Amino acid sequence: MFTFSGIELEQQLIAGTWRTGSSQRSASDINPYDDSVIAEIPLASAADVDEAYVAAEQAQPKWAALAPAKRAAIMYRAAELLEEKRDEIVDLLIAESGSTRSKANLEVSLAAGITREAASFPARMHGRISPSNTPGKENRVYRVAKGVVGVISPWNFPLHLSIRSVAPALALGNAVVIKAASDTPITGGLIPARIFEEAGVPAAVIGNVTGAGSEIGDDFVTHAVPKLISFTGSTPVGRRVGELAINGGPMKNVSLELGGNAPLVVLADADVDKAAHDAAVGSFLHQGQICMAVNRVIVDAAVYDEFVEKFVAAAKNISAGDPSDGKVVVGPIINDSQLESVKSKITRAKEEGATVALEGDIAGRVISPHVFTDVTRDMELARDEIFGPIIGVMKADDEAHAIELANDPEFGLSAAIYSTDIDHASQVALQIESGMVHINDLTVNDEPHVMFGGMKNSGLGRFNGDWAIEEFTDDRWIGIKRS
């Protein structure tokens, strides 16, 4: 039987105990590349969710009362454990999520980075004293932990996108229960829970439940205990989570990091070689299964033909296949449902009249890079999030038209602008309706101390640094009248 750090992969951390779920259902955790079974997992029931939340609520006050330096030390130890167990975690990310070896290593580094950043949070929970208009009164505003946080994480960066919420929430004195995506229950749920438990977080303060969305999904959100649900995933599911959090029971906060449709804009004065190289990397990293992946390339007509030639050449050099091979860049699509979605987008692009500039092979769940040109704003490739190794190139008449095209979709998570005039590009960036815009750099960017979050239908709330402190705590006004 396979284990991680002494814990059987079939188990979940519920109310301080590693055990299997009590549902009558079970699920096979499958390697998306070769269909081998990683684990057979007895799933959690609604009763397990209740037990995990109630235990977390009971344990949280003592954890929040722990000295800031002690909580910080535990966060630092968790980051060390991520590094110490890197090879084991990387192998599990490859097996469970179809990550390539380079992407899996990047993910471990990102998770360790946000955990180290979170270690500084206990000493950064600053309150304030405000003057009062009432004589003899003092107004104190305290910043305190929310209580219990429910974390729902996705399958594309399962380790990092769990820990990005878990580490700050714990560091700030909250208890946490994780519900990972059904495709990645080990790397998204078991590993984060075990890492923090082993680092010193009391067992009931951190937990994870693995269950079918149809059985425990609504209960996980509407349960009376959690004060915040931190969700990362698709926009339609995020809308549902938000509705349940407001209308499904006791009202609670939500933090929603949702879909994207990232434009990479190539202006007329861009370094075309760099733009073409970066567009290829940003389009096909992790098979394009990243909310920040380049979803559209918008190119000024003045350099369109040159860009297309160089971009297609760069895409041809990207290798696809077995993700455990260190030279492979594009691995398998996560599951059959997503595979069919990507295939349908390829068919739809052809039907809508896009030009096939590069058509890669499809072998099992591995889809080699596909490039379409002459993409127009009414096509699916321009409107929707792709989440696969497909990219459409659009021609802009001029800069104003490029900005207009970039702002077309309902999403606004990440964007990129390529130009040799940095100051002008910065002004263009302010016209892009996106939470994050990078100049002469990939749309795929995440730094633990810098704000992360989107606009429009790409979500609500912010992660990382001071923004995470605000997200995972409450302000409390304590008014004191002395006379």
Catalytic residues: 257
How much helix, strand and coil, in percent to the nearest 5, is found in the chain?
A: 40, 25, 35
CA separation for the pair 35, 77 (Å, rounded): 35
Q: At 57, list the tokens.
A: 């609520």
Strand 3-4 relative to strand 128-130: parallel, antiparallel, unpaired? unpaired
The helix/strand count (H/E) of the chain reads as: 16, 26
On the CB side of 234, CA atoms within 13 Å amount to: 11
Q: At 299, list the tokens.
A: 């190119």
Map tokens 């940003």 to a residue: 282
CA separation for the pair 225, 131 (Å, rounded): 34
- Residue among 231, 215, 216, 181 nearest 338 (CA): 181
Classify burial at 274, counting beta carbons within 10 Å of its beta carbon; exposed 0-12, middle 13-18, buried 19 or more.
middle
Beta strands in 25-79 (DSSP E): 26-30, 37-42
Beta strands in 369-465 (DSSP E): 370-373, 390-396, 411-412, 414-418, 436-439, 455-456, 459-460
CA separation for the pair 340, 336 (Å, rounded): 6
CA separation for the pair 327, 42 (Å, rounded): 36
What are the residues whose beta carbons fall under 8 Å from the beta carbon of 74, sequence distance 6 or more? Answer: 170, 196, 199, 200, 201
DSSP track, 298-354: EEEGGGHHHHHHHHHHHHHT--BS-TTSTT-SB-B-SSHHHHHHHHHHHHHHHHTT-
CA separation for the pair 389, 401 (Å, rounded): 26
Residue 450's φ and ψ, nearest 5 degrees, are -115, 140
Sheet holding 294-300, edge to edge: 355-359, 370-373, 390-396, 294-300, 262-266, 414-418, 436-439
Tell me the C-alpha to C-alpha distance, in Å, between residue 27 and each of 94, 189, 211, 403. Answer: 19, 15, 9, 46
Would you give the DSSP letter of residue 288? G
Beta strands in 288-384 (DSSP E): 294-300, 355-359, 362-363, 366-367, 370-373
